[in-house]
Amino acid sequence: MKKILIINGPNLNLLGKREPGVYGGQSFELYFEELVAAYPQVELAYFQSNSEGAIIDKIHEKGFSADGIVLNAGAYTHTSIAIADAIRSVTTPVIEVHISNVFKRETYRHHSYLSEACVGCIVGFGLKSYKLAIEAFVNN
């Protein structure tokens, strides 16, 4: 059974309430239940933190045993060399995801420190971005 971990960064605990015009009206907890039901052949886990260090610790903890990490680092995407280094430090491949199409938004969202360290990026498909990332790991 493949082990895939989804990590959500800052403010993503407020999905469903936070800027619904940008991020949609569904909470991640509910969406995660849908994912678990859709992929009975996958051991899916979910972690969210608003703290950069906690995200790094989780990447270190699971990054040598999980088969894939799906990471939405939120705004840390655009600021965190430390998270990029954590991704480079582990053996588990990481896919960067974003709910919104960051390239259609403010220019400060156009640059990601993480993309270079990731195997791929999925951007702009709403919550479906996570499903597409899981598909990439499962059909691989």
76 counts as catalytic: no
Whether residue 74 contacts residue 10, with contact meaning beta carbons closer than 8 Å, is answered with yes
Contact range with ligand DQA by CB under 6 A, out of 26-34, 50-58, 85-93, 99-107: 99-107
Q: Which is nearer to ligand DQA, 42 or 70 (CB)?
A: 70
Q: Is 31 a catalytic residue?
A: no
Q: Which of 90, 140, 68, 81 has its CA nearest to residue 113?
A: 81
Site size toward ligand DQA, by CB under 6 A:
10
Instruction: Please report whether residue 102 would count as binding ligand DQA according to CB under 6 A.
Output: yes
Q: Which is nearer to ligand DQA, 90 or 114 (CB)?
A: 114
Asked whether position 131 contacts ligand DQA by CB under 6 A, the answer is no
Among the options 23, 31, 113, 130, which is catalytic? 23
**CA distances (Å), origin 35, targets 14, 127, 132:** 18, 10, 11
Task: Using alpha carbons, list the distances in angstroms from residue 89 to 1, 50, 83, 127.
Answer: 24, 21, 10, 27
